[in-house]
Amino acid sequence: MTVSPVEITTAGVANLLRRPALFGLLPAIVAVVTLLVVPLAATFWLSLSPNVLIKFTGPGLGNYGYLFGKPYYVGVLLRTLNLSFMATLGALLIGYPAAWALKVLSSRFGGTVVIGLTFPILAGPLVVVLGWMILLSDGGPLFGPLVRWGIIGRPHLLGTQTAIVIGLVQFTLPFVILTIYSVLKQIPDDLIEAARSLGAGGAQIFVRVIWPLSLPGVVSATLIAFSLAASAYVSPHYLGGETQQTLTTLVGEFILATYNSQMAAAVAIVLLAVMAIVILIFTTLTARLVR
């Protein structure tokens, strides 16, 4: 007996309307719609609205025009992208070997490592950034002694992009390690043993067996790291300061300092669009690798 698509759909709808399933899903869906989807739509609308502060009588793209017309704001956009890419790259370069080490060791030591990695997420970004402000300061415990003994000059790291990248790498690293680890964990040891018994050396095993099998993990870790880095507010605000603005801190400034909410909305939409475009390009490029 063949089932027509219409029947499948009606069956599906009937299934959806089974009371308990609907009862269960509806509150959460309503919450996300009212507290995320509708507000984002309102923000988009606001970004197209007239803005006395820049003498834009709209509605239209005037707020965006103003934004992209100023080299400073274009610079902020490029800086956000640059920082996010650098942080992602750094987190992957440290995170991949760390995930591999975690797989090799596993057991109790591994458990302790995972607790350690989870910890800064629970302590919150503000506390962690405060720690970086202590560590990276010129007189801090990291550079202080070296400066005093005359081994290095004052590094002046705080307020630079390097400081932000360090903060972002540390912030995203736990997610990257655990994402890649969850994929590496599934590679059976037998497979590696088989490759070895067939005469493959260490490098060959990595390139031909482990790396291809771990690619899905690397791809999702990249996406997570990039999104987290581009979304970060606390690290750029404190480690970069006013000279190193990113799109997130710019949104903050437009609301907290100048109360230009149309402009804040436009920056927020640009941030979302840029993230979506980068993620889309990346997933398209890697679609073949992950399959």
Partner 1 sequence: MSPSRVASRMFLGLVVLFVVGPAAMVIVDSFNGATSFPSPFQSATLHWYVDLVHHDEFVASMRVSGIVAVLAATCATALGFFAGYALIRYQLPGRNAIQTFLLGPLLVPQIVIGLAELQLFSLWGVELNLGVLVAAHTVYVMPFALRVIMASLARFDFTLEEAAYSLGAGRLRTLRHVTLPLLGSGLIGAFVFAFILSFVNLPLSLFLTNARSTTLPIMMFAYMESRIDPLIAAVASVVVIAAIATTLLLERVFRLRLLG
Q: Which residue is listed with tokens 């995930």?
A: 99
Check residue 16 for interaction with partner 1 (CB under 8 A): yes
Among 252, 282, 283, 286, binds partner 1 (CB under 8 A): 252
Check residue 128 for interaction with partner 1 (CB under 8 A): yes
Among 61, 68, 85, 125, binds partner 1 (CB under 8 A): 125
How far is it, in rounded angstroms, from Cα 250 to Cα 268? 9
Q: CB nearer to partner 1: give 64 or 175.
A: 175
Phi, psi of 259 (to 5 degrees): 35, 60
Residue 45: how many CA atoms within 13 Å on its side-chain side? Answer: 6
For the record, the structure tokens of 6 come out as 């219409």
Q: Which residues have C-beta within 8 Å of that of residue 182, sequence separation ≥ 6?
A: 217
Among 68, 89, 120, 187, binds partner 1 (CB under 8 A): 120
Binding to partner 1 in span 156-195, by CB under 8 A: 170, 173-175, 177-178, 181-182
Phi, psi of 227 (to 5 degrees): -65, -45
CA angle 37, 39, 40 (to 5 degrees): 65
Q: CB nearer to partner 1: give 71 or 149.
A: 149
* Stretch near partner 1 under the rule CB under 8 A, chosen from 50-58, 66-74, 149-157, 252-260: 252-260
Q: CB nearer to partner 1: give 13 or 71.
A: 13
Among 168, 183, 205, 264, binds partner 1 (CB under 8 A): 264
What is the DSSP track for 194-247? Answer: HHHHTT--HHHHIIIIIHHHHHHHHHHHHHHHHHHHHH--HHIIIII-GGG--H
Check residue 114 for interaction with partner 1 (CB under 8 A): yes
Binding to partner 1 in span 196-225, by CB under 8 A: none
Q: CB nearer to partner 1: give 119 or 211.
A: 119
Name the minimum Å distance from CB 241 to partner 1.
12
Check residue 56 for interaction with partner 1 (CB under 8 A): no
Check residue 77 for interaction with partner 1 (CB under 8 A): no
Name the minimum Å distance from CB 131 to partner 1.
3
Q: Which residues have C-beta within 8 Å of that of residue 180, sequence separation ≥ 6?
A: 95, 96, 99, 214, 217, 218, 221
Check residue 283 for interaction with partner 1 (CB under 8 A): no
